[in-house]
Amino acid sequence: MFLCSKYTNNIKRLELSVNYSFDFPLFGIVANEMPHRLVWFLNQLGHLNFYRDHDYELHFDEQLLSFPCFSFIDEENHLNFTLIGNKDDNQWLIPEYKHVDFIIAVQGAIDFFDEEHFKQLVMKSKVVQLIFSVDVNKLKSKNNLILLHER
């Protein structure tokens, strides 16, 4: 975070620039299911225990977008999993991946998090058609994920 000053029309303006760190694993999931059904199937795998959380809300073009959100706190491994629907009406949380139905962000002690094992576990669900890693830093819409830092 840094503060810089600019002069516009001989008026000094201060701008605050904040740089967020997006150093967490993010996964895209293709599953043609309602969010609560996907969560039910994932929870049946035995290693996950997602619960309904507050919707993930964004203001976009003076419109409030609300995406269904589910969380799972793995206290043993110090990890927080957040599953969010990627679509609200005709708007996407991550428009670069319009074919993706859900995203999962993993935060916490990710040093020992095994991404491949997690993807294999999720693929065991009979409703998940595809899961893949997403490089957050290459997303044009990564600022839509800033609120994940507050969860």
Q: In the predicted model, is pLDDT for residue 2 greater than 50?
A: no
List the domain boundaries for the chain: 21-150
Q: In the predicted model, is pLDDT for residue 113 greater than 80?
A: yes
Give the span between the Cα atoms of 36 and 69, in whole angstroms: 10
The mean pLDDT value for 105-110 works out to 92
Give the span between the Cα atoms of 76 and 98, in whole angstroms: 34
Dihedral pair phi/psi, residue 21, rounded to 5° = -95, 125
Give the span between the Cα atoms of 122 and 44, in whole angstroms: 11
pLDDT for 49 equals 97
Q: In the predicted model, is pLDDT for residue 20 greater than 90?
A: no
Give the span between the Cα atoms of 125 and 63, in whole angstroms: 34
Dihedral pair phi/psi, residue 149, rounded to 5° = -65, -25
pTM comes to: 0.84
Domain 21-150 is in which class?
alpha beta
Summarised one tens digit per residue, pLDDT across range 30-85 is 999 999 999 999 999 988 999 999 999 988 778 889 999 999 999 999 999 999 99
Give the span between the Cα atoms of 92 and 103, in whole angstroms: 11
Give the span between the Cα atoms of 92 and 118, in whole angstroms: 24
Q: What is the dihedral of CA 87, 35, 45, 129, to 10 degrees?
A: -50
